[in-house]
Amino acid sequence: MTDTGFGTRVAAAMAERGQFCVGIDPHSALLHDWGYDDDVAGLERFALGAVEAVAPYCSVVKPQSAFYERFGSGGIAVLEKVIVSAREAGALVLLDVKRGDIGSTSQAYADAYLDPSSPLASDAITVSPYLGFGSLTPFVDTARRFDAGLFVLAATSNKEGPEVQEAVTTEEHGGRTVTTTMLDHLRELNASASPLGSFGAVVGATIDGRGLDFAINGAILAPGYGEQGGTTHDILRIFGASAGHVLASSSRGVLRLGPNPGAMRDAVARANDELRELAG
């Protein structure tokens, strides 16, 4: 039987379309830069225009849910259209929601974003493990049930991150840093998968990375590539032999070129060209 899990799909997408992921993040300032009003109509023109320009040419698009939620139900309706349009163009959709809760609430979030019967159903979502990795069990089980994926926050590049992520657990829980603990959990979830497991990590493209083992047999989302300073050299430095599994992500570096679709499309092509050496 053909494996249709997210790990298989994302590995195929990266091989075919490259390792560049475009964030579709409708900041208020960007809407104005494109000449649109900061309202639902402007949001829709911006977001669908960006999807039309980039989704046929990149492996993954990553809408940040917050920039749609700020408009209420109208914004969520636009997000639903973004998800459908991106998939129709052949891109995988990674919905950046960073949800994390416990029990039935986690299950409700998982149903909202991973169950194909939901209008917000995506190929994968970002999740936060900081209520304990076990709190993600409803997300993990739902992702497995529907061949979807998760990207778990592990080593982010924001300056506040290290106070949690570099903290060391008690001996009872392994005496390791929180980041290492999260990576170990992901490695375990992906242990028997081929070519990749469906459970990835979020790791900033500008972190130090020394002492961390990113061989988790899953994809790694690396935000901060390009405009925020991350380079191909950084990805090779941080991830080493796992660099070929990295989705380098940028939003503003592409979106600031709009509403010119040709310029955005060319930016995707340049990024994919730069990233080709990672697969080697």
Q: For residue 83, what are the β-bridge partners? A: none
Residues assigned a catalytic role: 98
Q: Which residue has the tokens 């790791």?
A: 203
**Phi (first) and psi of residue 248, to 5 degrees:** -80, 125
Nearest Cα neighbor of 125 from 138, 114, 133, 115 is 114
What does the H/E/C string look like for 178-235? HHHHHHHHHHHHCCCCCCCEEEEEEECCCCCCCCCCCCCCEEEEEECECCCCECHHHH
Q: 3-class DSSP state for residue 94?
A: strand
* C-beta of residue 210 within 8 angstroms of C-beta of residue 189: no
In residues, how long is the chain?
Answer: 280
* Pairing of the two strands 124-127 and 92-99: parallel
